Amino acid sequence: MPRCRRSAFSLLAIAALLVATSAAHAQFAGTDAHNVRNSGATGAGAPRDDGQALRAAPQPAFLPDGTYFSNSSLAALPGGRWYAGEGGGRLASLENGKIRLQAGDFAHIAAPPAYTGSENYIFTAFDGDFSRVLRTAEVFISGADTLGRPATGYRYTPGATAFYTYLHNTSGWNQATAGNDGRTGATAFRTRVANAGQGDLMAYNFSAFVTGTRPGATSFLANPAVGGFAGDLTAGTDGVYLNPYETIASDAGHDVSHVGIVINSERSNGTGALGTIWEGFKSQSGGRTAIDAHFQGSGPAGIGLDLVGTALHDRTGADTHAAITLAAGQAIFGNASNANPTRFSRYTAPGTEWLDFDPATGWRLVVAGAPALTANTTGVTVAALRVSKPAVPANAHAPCQPGQIAWDAGYVYVCVAANGWKRAALAEW
């Protein structure tokens, strides 16, 4: 019994110590953040200046309910972190002569943090100074069956992710009925970045690594994979718009550069085992109904498709010269039209002029729906030949190549040998 009493007393002592400690430190779950009010901050808002107390608060600092105003820019705060609790404490500061409310959670990184770890391994990735990082997360998934063993299809496990967000929207507005003007947008995550320094600033950055193989794999598709972005979009009614990726780039009147998507591929092994491939871009259509186009462009552009900088050879180094490949029966069309204001591909009419390859006849140039020229190993056949510009050789030995033809009002000239012309007189009938 005495032993039990001593244990009870010990628990009471610990509890009392925790209560006393909470008077000097915030009761903020998951942190040892210091309550800024213990450094003299009031949270009364402007014009009461809490700047000195905020600067003096030990780090990390906790903001209980209230508005903590600094009569100077937040850039004047020392490096550190300020957290808002359940009461919704906020920072406010004087920026360019105006009082501005700031985010509940704020961090200032004013000096290079010491980092001794390595991002190549999860257990060393957080070795170093993360005292000014608002949130860190480390998730380790193990166990052969933790993510399940689907026999078919594809399976995600929401409970085995670092972050899981579900945003459900029943609000919003669409003003227009024939376009997308006057429209609201909602996002699960919204980020804005502003680079006023040097170097690069990215809204998001990732680094991924994959290793291991599937025993018995006969295709690279059966082996483990790693990706940067992946997802799925599903329609629940007719007429909606599935839009996996879209951005807007505006120069705002400044002379700048812009490249919509850059994919840097650094291949060094072209063995090709298990059918491995490298492709810069791939559009796949797998539904029961054909899509309208794999690629579509609209608006002003100097060049539609530029492959001048491409070195065309295969993974063994052999030249292919294959800037564009077409299967038999596929064609390149001219005189196509699209009168719809949206210029979407479903409204494009290919026209009646094209160039294609027919295995039976060879290359064909079709004009107004009828073959105008056919070229194959037997020669070139034209429906009608016209040498539009008159040209007269200076003499019978003027420079020429065999087969070259010229004419004027009195003669037809034919080059029958290198630098050797013959002519025939023309007469009416």
pLDDT over 80 (residue 383): yes
Work out the mean pLDDT of the chain and round it to a whole number: 88
The torsion region of residue 321 among left (phi > 0), alpha (psi -120 to 50) and beta comes to left
pLDDT at residue number 342? 82
Burial code (b: 16+ CB inside 10 Å, e: under 16) for 117-127 equals eeeeeeeeeee
State pTM to two decimals.
Answer: 0.78
pLDDT over 90 (residue 132): no
H or E stretch covering 357: strand 353-358
Q: Describe the strand order of the beta sheet including 411-417 as a list of residue ranges.
A: 405-407, 411-417, 420-425
Can you spell out the DSSP letters for 284-327?
Answer: ---SSS--S-S----S--S-S---TT---B-TTS-B---SS---
pLDDT over 90 (residue 320): yes
The string of pLDDT tens digits covering residues 34-58 is 899 999 999 999 999 999 999 999 9
Partnered with residue 371 across adjacent β-strands are 366
Q: Predicted confidence band at 87 (pLDDT cuts at 50, 70, 90)? A: low
The string of pLDDT tens digits covering residues 223-279 is 999 999 999 999 999 999 999 999 999 999 999 999 999 999 999 999 999 999 999
pLDDT over 80 (residue 8): no
The string of pLDDT tens digits covering residues 177-192 is 998 999 999 999 999 9
pLDDT at residue number 23? 37
| For range 66-88, the mean pLDDT | 85
pLDDT over 80 (residue 15): no
Domain boundaries, the chain: 2-108, 324-385, 386-429
Q: For 353, how many CA atoms within 13 A lie in the half-sphere containing its CB?
A: 7
The string of pLDDT tens digits covering residues 279-302 is 999 999 999 999 999 999 999 999
Q: Lowest-confidence range among 3-12, 86-95, 100-109? A: 3-12
